[in-house]
Amino acid sequence: MPHRILSMDGSSISGGEGYVTTGMLGALRQTLDSGGDRRTLLNQVDLFVGTSAGSFNAAFFASEADPDSAFDKSLQFWGEAVAMNRKGVSLGRSLRALAGASSFLDSNYMRDFLGGYFGMTTRLGDLKRKVVIPSFQLDGHRKGVRTWKSKIFHNTGPDNDPDLNELLIDVLMRSGSPPLSYPIYQGLKDQGSGYVDGGLYANNPSLVGLAQAINNMSRPNKHEQVDTLATEPPSLDSILVLSLGNGIMSTYLAPTFRAGEANWGFARWLLDSKDLMVLVKMLLEAGSDAVNYQCRMILRKKYFRLNPIVEQRISAYDLQQVGTALVEMLSQQSTMDQLQRTQHWLEKSGWLGDSQQGAQPSQVGT
């Protein structure tokens, strides 16, 4: 049986937010529906992986025993999410942010929306499906050294794993709090380290999901002795990864060279009014590209990346604008071509498999 991983990016610097992933999945479902394979797209996923906006998608699908049946609610979810995020904008806050004294958005609106949707007391271990959600911890310990570090929240571990008791709303906000845009997030209990967006190192979380899956598959089950753990990792032939981005548009730099050099200082890299913080944008997208390359080289035909090309950055502030943006994107020939190639991969890779033998809901937290 294939081990299926669905990886969902965070918001794209040059593309759009998490509803682009939802739109792509919706289009794939419609394509597969004619062949009776629609339910196998989501219901056979063994591991939902998501960063930032992608973590919201991962939680949405993982909270359902039958993700496909809940899909029609996903666009409504994103329509409410983007509208709620809009409430975090105010003139006074924007002025303070421009002066360097505040984040641009008030994250309390998004926190309350997620808490109202998933429940304020829902734990990561209460989810019905397995998830992996990257964040970045600002004050942690690694080999005895106090340092910032990556933090991977998941509900795939043993029953005594502390991650299972983490509040879902805290995990989502920790993964989805980009510096400058949102305040640093700690948690509802107001204790412990602060966290910022997992997109700092894993906006494309495909490799994180692959690593976690390999670890899970290497772990002895409850009926095995610990000393029987195989010294070799499991065969990668059994792992399939479908990676979804939130769109990419034409972005490039064309400096003026003199004697083969362009002598840029920090003003051009960070403070150029025509392309503010271009170095940060480039580093974020370079990280996603690196993960795409690594997964392609490791998994070969067992990995597929769907990331539509968009003509301009996609933004929406309510459900109607979300729908309009997705219709426009899905009508592009390049998007239709990508969807066709994705369908071909789903059919040839074994992802669709037998609709009666899909992944079973997680027993974690039940």
Q: What is the pLDDT of residues 313-347, one digit of tens each?
A: 788 888 888 889 899 999 999 999 999 999 999 99
358: pLDDT strictly greater than 50: no
Contacts of 194 (CB under 8 A, 6+ apart): 137, 138, 139, 184, 185, 186
Concatenating the DSSP letter of every residue in 237-275 gives: GGEEEEEE---B------PPPBTTB----HHHHH--TTS
- Number of neighbours of residue 28 by Cβ within 10 angstroms: 21
Helix (H) or strand (E) holding 139: strand 131-142
**Alpha carbon of residue 23 to chain centroid:** 14
pLDDT at res. 24: 94
The CA distance from 269 to 219, in Å, is 45
46: pLDDT strictly greater than 60: yes
What are the E-state strand segments in 245-358? Answer: 303-306
98: pLDDT strictly greater than 50: yes
The CA distance from 115 to 111, in Å, is 6
What are the E-state strand segments in 31-144? Answer: 47-50, 131-142
231: pLDDT strictly greater than 70: no
141 DSSP β-pair partners: 146
pLDDT at res. 366: 37
pLDDT tens-digit series, residues 131-149: 999 999 999 998 889 999 9
225: pLDDT strictly greater than 70: no
pLDDT tens-digit series, residues 57-82: 999 999 999 999 888 899 899 999 99
> What's the rounded mean pLDDT across residues 93-110?
92
- Number of neighbours of residue 125 by Cβ within 10 angstroms: 19
pLDDT tens-digit series, residues 181-224: 999 999 998 788 999 999 999 999 999 999 999 998 887 665 44
Contacts of 270 (CB under 8 A, 6+ apart): 276, 277, 278, 279, 280
151 DSSP β-pair partners: 135
Q: How confident is the model at residue 364 (pLDDT cuts 50, 70, 90)?
A: very low
pLDDT at res. 223: 46
> What's the rounded mean pLDDT across residues 260-284?
90
Q: How confident is the model at residue 249 (pLDDT cuts 50, 70, 90)?
A: confident
35: pLDDT strictly greater than 70: no
Q: Which two tokens stand for residue 204?
A: 């494309």
The one-letter code for the residue type at 18 is: G
Please report the sign of the dihedral spanned by the C-alpha atoms of residue 189, residue 194, residue 197, residue 202: negative
Q: Work out the percent of the chain whose per-residue pLDDT is above 90.
A: 63
Cβ atoms of residues 29 and 41 within 8 Å: yes
